[in-house]
Structure 1
């Protein structure tokens, strides 16, 4: 081959390579420019890149679902809570700490140049939202902790991430058990349903109407001791509770009572003992009969709420749900969606 032909061949190859790079760059730009408009849990209409390549989460429930959909690697910023979570931290090792869910470090978030920020709508301060929006960063509020709107929230997240198939698979699994609990308890007369005090993470804080905990109790056919109150999270006294005499007490354990993935039941056991010795509680039916239960925050509300519901359903109606194995449901769920083996203590006592 002559030198001239070699030179022409080289020039041709270079031109082809340049064109290929230009086409690839153009296609990447097109992907980056693609957007989708959604309505979030607060009823806000938000336009976001689809799918986002850089995500900051201020909502641990959304973070868990993002991991379940296979997009953990796109989380560039995460809350301290998520990064300290023994299970989720394995999935988001490269994410930077942006602080707390309700009071994040906005400057750190902006520096990460995210395509979208996911947060809890009821708790993130308006000034934080405004600062992010001024920086051109869309903020999406998705609850992903309320049973009644779980399917809707998961479906919206699936649209944003372009993970519709994964979202529908998760919804189908969640609703299978949600419907089972509702179907089996729907015909139980009100006066035959156990009266339950479901204590939130903070001591003496009730699960009132509109709270995620109240929705769980409704879903398993329980009588919520706070059903007639006006507030979602009212504070109560020992005297108030003793006078109403609940038949079952369930405590949602926050990080102050270590439980869940990789933890032992020791802290939950200690918390149960402390609660049963609160002033006057020895007169409460639930305490006298030993029906005081600890429930990890990991399965309380959120994407794995059906596991918590399964335990609660068995505590309230052991015969009606004798064929249900909450641990087996949890094990299958973790393996199926997160590729994680079940380990740790999530309730105390189990029966």
Structure 2
């Protein structure tokens, strides 16, 4: 740690000696800056024209890509880098990796890349980053792409940061129209009870958690909506006897643009069905189990996942909602990728 601190100090001194001031890395006049309010309410002055940014967290990267600003990104964390197929023409090499995670950033690499700003989420080490990068004229902006209920604010923020406000507004309208349709169509429909599980056995969602609003927007009755912890005893699922089970991802599996095979999905489903006592659960008896890949559920701050869940719960009431088509739009129009079906089990057609 002492060696790293010394290297950082030497880089800082070199920067100071060469430039003569702390912020001339990116010389801007006052009129060339704008002030934005980031996801945690901080007022941050940033260059009006962002041409070089580094990004932590794949949800943030997906948002940036969906508004057409990928070409402004010159560095990413390992979580983004490891799924090379998800970024198409914007292929990041190992020299652009800025850290293992958003809590393990490589500040020497960030300073070497010399971006105008770092985009990070609030559960990352943004405070540490802000303190260490500010002397080099590198701004730190918190952008929380996790929360479904904040998607409009997050996309609006991204649009302001990257000067892509019309693109962000069009994206927001695309999904808000679909959310309004779900809300209107299901207004007087009794909600189905749902057990949601994320990757590991017994990991669910509760108020304040990243996945909670995805279920709320889908008009699901979360059986653990009053729980205090996301870690629950799976025997409680038997006692609460949900109508439907929704599971995202699998333990030890990273999110990938390439979908799981049907055999892998079947294996995950059988693992659920074979849990002690679960043969008595209504969702198991009626085969009301929806499996989503980790990639598909998270699109557009989990709005893509919302569409699948709502349609699975209430297909007869949502004839105009086609979640697989929404996913296709997400990957082809907003992520500039080929459409690869098969991210859900059971799978859906474009007209379902």
TM-score tier after normalising by the smaller chain length: 0.7 to 0.9
Corresponding residue number in structure 2 for 1:176? 177
The separation in 2 between residues aligned to 1:74 and 1:159, in whole angstroms, is 14
Q: Is the partner of 1:177 in helix, strand or coil?
A: helix
With normalisation by structure 2, the TM-score equals 0.83
Q: Call closer, same or farther: CA 1:261–1:32 in 2, change over 3 Å.
A: farther
- 1:53 to 2:51 alignment: yes
Corresponding residue number in structure 1 for 2:307? 310
Which structure's relative contact order is higher, taking Cα pairs within 8 Å and 6+ residues apart? 2
Which segment drifts farther, 58-67 or 298-307?
298-307
Corresponding residue number in structure 2 for 1:112? 113
Corresponding residue number in structure 2 for 1:262? 258
Match of residue 211, structure 2, among 213, 227, 243 = 213
The separation in 1 between residues aligned to 2:225 and 2:83, in whole angstroms, is 32
The separation in 1 between residues aligned to 2:106 and 2:27, in whole angstroms, is 29
Corresponding residue number in structure 2 for 1:238? 234
Indicate if the aligned counterparts of 2:69 and 2:164 stay in contact, CA closer than 8 A.
Answer: no
Q: Is the partner of 2:265 in helix, strand or coil?
A: helix
Shift of 1:31: 7.9
Corresponding residue number in structure 2 for 1:10? none
Which segment drifts farther, 115-124 or 79-88?
79-88
Q: Is the partner of 2:149 in helix, strand or coil?
A: coil
Q: Is the partner of 2:124 in helix, strand or coil?
A: coil
- 1:327 to 2:324 alignment: yes
Corresponding residue number in structure 2 for 1:162? 163
The separation in 1 between residues aligned to 2:306 and 2:206, in whole angstroms, is 17
RMSD of aligned alpha carbons: 2.4
Indicate if the aligned counterparts of 2:83 and 2:256 stay in contact, CA closer than 8 A.
Answer: no
**1:1-351 maps to which residues of 2 (within 5 A)?**
34-94=32-92, 96-98=96-98, 99-124=100-125, 126-188=127-189, 192-231=190-229, 234-253=230-249, 256-257=252-253, 261-265=257-261, 266-303=263-300, 305-350=302-347
The separation in 2 between residues aligned to 1:156 and 1:264, in whole angstroms, is 33
Shift of 1:152: 0.7
Corresponding residue number in structure 2 for 1:16? none
Q: Call closer, same or farther: CA 1:135–1:273 in 2, change over 3 Å.
A: farther
CA deviations 1:15-52 (Å, max 9, x no partner) are: xxxxxxxxxxxxx9658972211111111111112221
Structure 1 runs of 4+ with >6 Å offset: none
The separation in 1 between residues aligned to 2:343 and 2:222, in whole angstroms, is 22
CA deviations 1:193-226 (Å, max 9, x no partner) are: 1111111233311110022321111112110112
Gaps spanning 5+ residues in structure 2: where?
1-25
The separation in 2 between residues aligned to 1:35 and 1:135, in whole angstroms, is 17
CA deviations 1:302-328 (Å, max 9, x no partner) are: 416332222111211121123322112
Shift of 1:150: 0.5
CA deviations 1:108-166 (Å, max 9, x no partner) are: 22221111111110233643443233443211111122221111111111111111111
The separation in 2 between residues aligned to 1:302 and 1:124, in whole angstroms, is 24
Q: Is the partner of 1:342 in helix, strand or coil?
A: coil
CA deviations 1:59-101 (Å, max 9, x no partner) are: 2122112222222122111121212224433243245112223
The separation in 2 between residues aligned to 1:77 and 1:206, in whole angstroms, is 32
Indicate if the aligned counterparts of 1:262 and 1:344 stay in contact, CA closer than 8 A.
Answer: no
Count of paired positions? 319
Indicate if the aligned counterparts of 1:36 and 1:47 stay in contact, CA closer than 8 A.
Answer: yes
